[in-house]
Structure 1
Amino acid sequence: MLRRLLSPAPLALTIATLAGIGLALLAAPKPPPPTAAPPRLTLVPAAFADLPGWSEDAANEAWPAFRLSCERQMRRKPETSLGIAGTVADWSAACAEAALLADPDADTVRRFLEDRFRPVAALNGETAEGLFTGYYEPELDGALTPDETNRTPLYRRPGDLVQVDLGEFRDELKGQRIAGRVVDGRLKPFEDRAGIVAGALAGKGLEIAYVASPVEAFFLEIQGSGRVRMADGRILRVGFDGQNGHPYVALGKVMLADGLLERGKVTMQSIKAWLAAHPDQAAALMNRNPSYVFFRDLGDGPGPLGAQGVALTPGRSLAVDRKFLPLGLPVWLDASLPPVEEGAPPVPFRRLMVAQDTGGAIRGPVRGDVFFGAGAEAERLAGAMKQTGRWWLLLPAEVVARMAEPAS
């Protein structure tokens, strides 16, 4: 079976020796502790028959998402590289055909994909399974101006925030990004969460709206988009528009390390419950995550918007790590949903999805975040979703054929 490695193997480690003039070596130095191998995408060609549940999915539910991604891709130059997925030109025939299929049934979608694409299993080195979580579009109570109840601001992206895609400068930095502000001709770090919460941006006219709960505002940042409901019933839809450049630190891991939550019981709901029960400690704990997200007003258009710039489809859109996977890629996911009741077996979750978004915590070649939509059930699923799973990427047939060609 052909196997193609997309990321370089880790470099061998060297161990420095200790020497002293006129001194004998009394004991061999202890070797350094083992380090985890860096993430490495491995692609293994497969067949559609290898995809668990392939013939059972209502694949047509993912068709609108696939067409939106195709339309977005076709706006780019044909020679534009899509990494492991070839170039935009490799997608042109499939996307042109997709544009003519307005409302296909599930069998038609499967035949289309089987004709135009080939599945390849995506692994992290030799490991097929990875972590799959979920996110949703929350709704918060708020106001356009501060009042006694709504005092936590949601900020627009500051005009002096500079966001840098390092992959545009060096291929080996593809997928890595930083942000900051220019001071005396040099890029310097932007304020972290603690500084922004303390008022570093206050009075600069960056406030989009004010919400009642700083905890809900914190989780709105994690979700990346949401709705703010005004007292008169109007809805303001906001979406991700930048980040302050500081690394994302998962609050659940912090609380586990501090002994505040038990292993196996870390969910969005349990974190929120702890913060609500300890309001005097909540702000300091949330500030342990220095990352801060800025928003923009999405207006009345469809949404929320993912990183690819298209509206996300509940249950069919997926956030991925762009260092390894390009946006717009159809993906077959074999995972499970969290059970409705504690102790119940997991519910299989096998379906066609489309990579249309990214996330600060989504890192690695087998790591995904499922968009569940809006509402109470979407919140429940997103908050409890922390399942292992595996996936297959659907690549244009000609791209997979080129992989099989011997190196010259």
Structure 2
Amino acid sequence: MRHVRWAAAFALGVVMATPEAKAAPTYEILKFDDLDGWETDDHQAALTVFQDTCPDIKDPEWATLCALATSQPSAKAYFELFFRPVLINGDEQALFTGYFEPELRGSRQRGGPYQYPLHRKPPEVTNGQRWLSRREIEQTRALEGRGLELVWLDNPVDKFFLQVQGSGRVKLAEGGAMRVGYGGKNGHEYSSIGQELIRRGVYEPHQVSAQVIRRWVQRNPIEGAELLRHNASYVFFREVSEVPSHKGPLGAMNRSITTMRSIAVDPAFTTLGAPVWIEKGGATPLNRLMIAQDTGSAIKGAQRADIFYGTGDQAGRQAGRIKDRGRLVVLMPIQTAYTLVSGG
């Protein structure tokens, strides 16, 4: 996910990396009867979300299906008539995590507790090119005095976590709120601070969570600041307050995503905007038709997805608990599905 956070739980080290996807993907066409829970899902809710972004899919076959979506009397019948469920790399077990849009406190002006800025991308930073690392930015003060400050936060750990998430809402001391979204990065790959704490022997893998990391950094401010510098990646932001407050943050398709109907996927396997049926196990099983509207640095592989849980602390707590197995099935246009299966 580029505009919305990377998968927080994964990126912070809660989940171990999955194996690399196979060079040659496998495809299997299923029946809708094979999808556990398909009959009882709210297909209209999924269709409404699908229609938000399907006009942006740059493919003639998808464009035709998108145009037909408005004239169908039944959402369920629409999906069954024009799509086929395709299981990609079915020998892999899916890994589901969750993400959310955090709410923070801040001010447009520096003062009092508001000392930790979110920065706009400097003009000399080019996407895809490596710039200064997080440590170098802090030590050389390369961003100071340049008018790049977008908003000032009251907590450095919140700033770091927001850079992991990639987007959020800031409640302003002056009143109102500012929505911020991903505006670029310094070209360095993310390094998991959760994995670093495990490597140092501070915690066992099963003990690490976003909350545990937050508390440890706050208890150990000097060592904590050094730990955060272990992640060389530094994310810049832009204001996206033109997005209505009742809508979700912008996803990779530059459209608002929807709580519990949008997921982040690997676009190397799943077309952005495609319907995706998920069967998630764990303590809170979820069988539901979702729409692939986002991506994420940690979301790699055909059987990998990040579920958007919404905005605020409660959504964050829900998302942070998700690390579940299951199955992910992509709904593809009929001709596309059979072409892939036949290898044509």
Q: Which runs of 5+ in 2 are unaligned?
A: 1-17
The answer to whether the Cα contact below 8 Å between 1:250 and 1:361 also exists between their aligned partners in 2 is no
The answer to whether the Cα contact below 8 Å between 2:157 and 2:217 also exists between their aligned partners in 1 is yes
1:59 offset after TM fit, Å?
Answer: 2.7
Residue 195 (structure 1) aligned with residue 136 (structure 2): yes
Q: Which runs of 5+ in 1 are unaligned?
A: 1-35, 77-87, 164-178, 181-188, 338-345
Deviations 1:103-161 (A, max 9, x none): x7xxx2221101010001122xx633132111111111111121120111101122222
Q: What residue identity is the alignment partner of 1:112?
A: Y
Q: Distance in 2 between matches of 1:297 and 1:329?
A: 28
Residue 90 (structure 1) aligned with residue 61 (structure 2): yes
Q: Distance in 1 between matches of 2:274 and 2:212?
A: 33
1:257 offset after TM fit, Å?
Answer: 1.7
Q: Distance in 2 between matches of 1:100 and 1:325?
A: 26
Structure 1 residues 322 and 401: CA distance shift in structure 2, 3 A: closer
What aligned pairs does 1:35-114 form with structure 2 within 5 A after superposition?
A: 38-40=20-22, 41-73=25-57, 76=58, 88-100=59-71, 108-114=74-80
Partner of 1:352: 289
Structure 1 residues 111 and 272: CA distance shift in structure 2, 3 A: same
The answer to whether the Cα contact below 8 Å between 2:95 and 2:325 also exists between their aligned partners in 1 is yes
1:100 offset after TM fit, Å?
Answer: 4.0
Structure 1 residues 228 and 55: CA distance shift in structure 2, 3 A: same
Structure 1 residue matching 2:237: 3-state secondary structure: strand
Q: Distance in 2 between matches of 1:321 and 1:402?
A: 20
Partner of 2:225: 283
Structure 2 residue matching 1:110: 3-state secondary structure: helix
The answer to whether the Cα contact below 8 Å between 2:103 and 2:313 also exists between their aligned partners in 1 is no
Provide the aligned length of Structure 1 versus Structure 2: 321
Deviations 1:56-87 (A, max 9, x none): 222322223201111222xx4xxxxxxxxxxx
The answer to whether the Cα contact below 8 Å between 1:268 and 1:384 also exists between their aligned partners in 2 is no
The answer to whether the Cα contact below 8 Å between 2:20 and 2:301 also exists between their aligned partners in 1 is no
Structure 1 residues 323 and 404: CA distance shift in structure 2, 3 A: closer
1:404 offset after TM fit, Å?
Answer: 4.6
Deviations 1:16-41 (A, max 9, x none): xxxxxxxxxxxxxxxxxxxx974223
Residue 372 (structure 1) aligned with residue 338 (structure 2): no
Partner of 1:175: none
Residue 273 (structure 1) aligned with residue 232 (structure 2): no
Deviations 1:180-228 (A, max 9, x none): 2xxxxxxxx2011112233221122111001011111111111111011
Partner of 1:29: none
Q: Distance in 2 between matches of 1:295 and 1:387?
A: 31
What aligned pairs does 1:117-132 form with structure 2 within 5 A after superposition?
A: 117-123=83-89, 127-132=91-96
Which structure has the higher relative contact order (CA within 8 Å, separation 6+)? 2
Q: Distance in 2 between matches of 1:267 and 1:100?
A: 46
1:263 offset after TM fit, Å?
Answer: 2.1
The answer to whether the Cα contact below 8 Å between 1:237 and 1:298 also exists between their aligned partners in 2 is yes
Runs of 4+ in structure 1 over 4 Å off: 404-407
Structure 1 residues 365 and 151: CA distance shift in structure 2, 3 A: same
TM-score, normalization: structure 1? 0.75
TM-score, normalization: structure 2? 0.88
Structure 1 residues 37 and 276: CA distance shift in structure 2, 3 A: closer
What aligned pairs does 1:5-404 form with structure 2 within 5 A after superposition?
A: 38-40=20-22, 41-73=25-57, 76=58, 88-100=59-71, 108-123=74-89, 127-163=91-127, 179-180=128-129, 189-198=130-139, 199-302=141-244, 303-336=248-281, 346-404=283-341
The answer to whether the Cα contact below 8 Å between 1:136 and 1:378 also exists between their aligned partners in 2 is yes
The answer to whether the Cα contact below 8 Å between 1:139 and 1:228 also exists between their aligned partners in 2 is yes
Structure 2 residue matching 1:256: 3-state secondary structure: helix
Instruction: Among all aligned residue pairs of Structure 1 and Structure 2, give the percentage whose two residues are the same amino acid.
Output: 39
Q: Distance in 1 between matches of 2:342 and 2:265?
A: 28
1:248 offset after TM fit, Å?
Answer: 1.3
Q: What residue identity is the alignment partner of 1:113?
A: F
1:361 offset after TM fit, Å?
Answer: 1.7
1:383 offset after TM fit, Å?
Answer: 1.6
Deviations 1:343-394 (A, max 9, x none): xxx1211111111111122222221111111123211111221222220000
Partner of 2:6: none
Q: Distance in 2 between matches of 1:294 and 1:373?
A: 22
Structure 1 residue matching 2:203: 3-state secondary structure: coil
Q: Distance in 2 between matches of 1:70 and 1:213?
A: 39
Q: Distance in 1 between matches of 2:212 and 2:265?
A: 25
**Which protein has the bigger helix share?**
2
